[in-house]
Structure 1
Amino acid sequence: MGKLYVIGIGPGGLDHITVKAMRAIEESNIIVGYTKYISMIKPLIENKEVFSTGMRGEEERCREALRLSRNNIVALVSTGDSGIYGMAGLILEMKSDENVEIIPGITASSAAGSVVGAPLMHDNCNISLSDLMTPYEDIKKRIKLAAEGDFVISLYNPRSKGRPHYLREAIDIIKKYRSDNVPVAIVRHALRDGEESILCTLGTIDCEVVDMFSIVIIGNSKSYIKEDKFITPRGYKI
């Protein structure tokens, strides 16, 4: 019987992939993934069979990975964590009797947080602004409730050409519950080539500099900047 590893490879650089993920990729004789993700692990998959698809080919990739895993050791890879906007959920929904193991990786908010300091030290949540899978009204409701609950908020898929105004609308919702001086981090290509970061505030954020390669982290009411580091205190008495 074969096996399917559903692997989060982290931000995309080999320095930030887990040892277990590397071992699973080495063990696998077939690698499945989005074309761009496959290129990120090219040094690990020489002489292996590869099945790749372009954007929005998730269902096809999962279906093929499950089929191949009946008689092979297969690695289905995606960036970040396989269970956070990755392929783990879809695989588990589609599987029947296939042998599946989920292997986590560093998700984008954790990667971005490490670049700018420690913004995620207290209760926090991830919200995707992509409405391909979620109605926009649901997204706005989640932003409102997270802001009202004073969660640190990490915005995934924050801005694209097809929905350039969603980020500004999200910021406007959050500003109803937080002051303009709450810190905000914009991190592009976190922990990989081309990394860039900007620290600003809710009142000064420039949404035009944000794209789909960015993560936007919005602090809670107690977050602050110290020596160019974004900190959300946990509550220790110091």
Structure 2
Amino acid sequence: MTGSVVIAGLGPGTDAMVTPEVNQALESATDVVGYIPYVRRIAPREGLTLHESDNRVELDRARHALEMAVSGKKVVVVSSGDPGVFAMASAVFEAVEDGPVEWRNLSIQVLPGITAMLAAAAAAGAPLGHDFCAINLSDNLKPWPLIEKRLRLAAEGDFAMGFYNPRSKARPEGFARVLEVLGEVCEPERLIIFARAVSTPEQKIRVVPLAEATPDMADMRTVVLVGSSRTRLIRRDGAPYVYTPRSVPE
């Protein structure tokens, strides 16, 4: 087969955080497939067809990309951040596993990108400097009790945490419950970072103790980082630095 699929991460927002490897794949693509705002980050050019689709049709999008690749197209499936973190890489491989045998023989390559979580951590300092985990707070693809179980166990394990999709108009009550669970397990002074629109001109980084965190501080453009019990804040002129030490005493 001459066709191929590249699953590429476009980073958190700024073109400066798109890797050269991803740019090279986009330059040689015949077709780009993805969620509407991500596809619109790709500059149109002769010989390139852009395929936009809604956010909740990941498997349909993946199948479309694979079908085009079988026909000989060089397809790039774009995600924001890293395609393997709550994004399109899993959807493509899920489609491959359940699809025609010929899809398994395609050249499929995953190109990493800078996640919103890592970009947010860098903007704040180094809050993920020790053990951490990432939790997607959306209950579109998993039940809320499982989200709450994982959240509670991560907090009890004293991990720093990164939350994706914290609060939407459709489920504003979810993040309020997240703060309640954290309040049951963590100390009131636990540091919370609200990083909105990271790497864009609208970027805003807000650091508050858990006791002062409110649900309306987050929306779907916000990544929320929760420090561990060891996470520290360094006060200075301007925005503070937040970091988690590299070691934990015995």
Cα distance in 2 between the residues matched to 1:164 and 1:140: 15
In the other structure, the counterpart of 1:230 is 242
Residue 147 of structure 1 contacts residue 174 of structure 1 at CA under 8 Å; is this kept in 2?
A: yes
Which amino acid is the alignment partner of residue 195 of structure 2?
Answer: V
Q: Secondary structure in 2 aligned to 1:203?
A: helix
Unmatched tracts of structure 2, length 5 or more = 97-102
Conserved? CA contact 1:14–1:41, under 8 Å: no
> Cα offset for 1:55?
2.2
- Root-mean-square deviation (CA, aligned residues, Å) is 1.4
Shift in Å at residue 161 of structure 1? Answer: 1.2
| In 2: Cα distance, 1:178 partner to 1:214 partner | 21
CA distance in 2, matches of 1:30, 1:153: 36
User: Which residue number in structure 1 is paired with residue 100 of structure 2?
Assistant: none
The 8 Å contact of residues 117 and 162 in structure 2, kept in 1 or not, is answered as yes
Cα distance in 2 for partners of 1:40, 1:118 equals 29
Equivalent residue, structure 1, for 2:60: 60
2:45 matched to 1:46?
yes
Tell me the residue number matched to 1:160. 168
- Give the % identical residues: 32
The separation in 2 between residues aligned to 1:118 and 1:106, in whole angstroms, is: 15
**SS of equivalent to 1:155:** strand
Task: Confirm or deny: 8 A CA contact 1:182 1:224 kept in the other structure.
Answer: no
In structure 1, stretches of 5+ residues that fail to align are none
SS in structure 2 opposite 1:33? strand
CA contact (8 A) 1:12 1:37 kept: no
How far does residue 111 in structure 1 lie from its aligned partner after superposition? 1.0
- The residue correspondences of 1:86-97 to structure 2 (distance < 5 A) are 86-95=87-96, 96-97=103-104
Matched, 1:209 2:210: no
Residues 12, 40 of structure 1: 8 Å contact kept: no
Counterpart Cα distance in 1 of 2:86 and 2:41: 18
- Is the counterpart of residue 26 in structure 1 residue 27 in structure 2? yes
Offset from partner CA, 1:93-151 (integer Å, 9 cap, x none): 21232220011111111011111111011111111110000100000000000000000
What is the Cα deviation at residue 209 of structure 1? 2.4
**Deviation at 1:236?**
8.5
Q: Which residue in the other structure is 1:85 paired with?
A: 86
Counterpart residue type for residue 91 of structure 1: V
User: Deviation of residue 197 (structure 1)?
Assistant: 1.3
Separation in 2, partners of 1:217, 1:60:
32
Separation in 2, partners of 1:40, 1:99: 25
**AA in 1 matched with 2:207:** L
Runs of 4+ in structure 1 deviating by more than 3 angstroms, as ranges, are none
Contact 2:13 2:198 in 1 (8 A): no
Provide the residue aligned with 1:122 in structure 2: 130
Deviates more, 1:210-219 or 1:52-61: 52-61
Q: Is the 8 A contact 2:59 2:95 kept in 1?
A: no
Q: Aligned with 2:223: secondary structure? A: strand
Q: Is the 8 A contact 1:33 1:52 kept in 2?
A: yes
Q: What is the Cα deviation at residue 179 of structure 1?
A: 0.8
How far apart, in 1, do the equivalents of 2:61 and 2:206 lie?
35
Q: Deviations over 1:155-200 (max 9, x none)?
A: 1100011111211211221222221111110011111231111110
Name the counterpart of 1:178: 186
- Alpha-carbon shift at residue 12 of structure 1 (Å): 2.3
State the distance in 2 between where 1:218 and 1:235 align. Answer: 18
Q: Structure 2 length normalisation: TM-score?
A: 0.90
SS of aligned partner of 1:37: helix
Say if 1:154 and 1:217, in contact at 8 Å, map to a contact too.
Answer: yes
- Normalised to the residue count of structure 1, the TM-score between the two structures is 0.95
Query: Counterpart in 1 of 2:141?
Result: 133
